[in-house]
Amino acid sequence: MTKASFASHPYLLGFEQLERMLERTAKNGNDGYPPYNIESRGEGVYRITIAVAGFAETDLSITLESAQLVVRGKQEDDAHERVFLHRGIAARQFQRQFVLADGVEVAGAHLENGLLHIDLRKQTPESIVQRIKIGTADARKER
Q: Taking 70 as the threshold, does the pLDDT of residue 1 lie above it?
A: no
Question: What share of the chain has pLDDT > 90, as a percent?
Answer: 45
Q: Is 102 exposed, middle or buried (0-12, 13-18, 19+ CB in 10 A)?
A: exposed
| pLDDT the model gives residue 139 | 59
Contact 119, 108 (CB under 8 A): yes
Convert the pLDDT of each residue in 32-74 to its tens digit.
Answer: 889 999 999 999 999 999 999 889 999 999 999 888 999 999 9
Q: What gap in Å lies between CA 78 and CA 82, rounded to an integer? A: 7
What pLDDT band is residue 102 in, cutting at 50, 70 and 90? confident
pTM: 0.70
Domains present along the chain, CATH in parentheses: 31-78+88-124 (2.60.40.790)
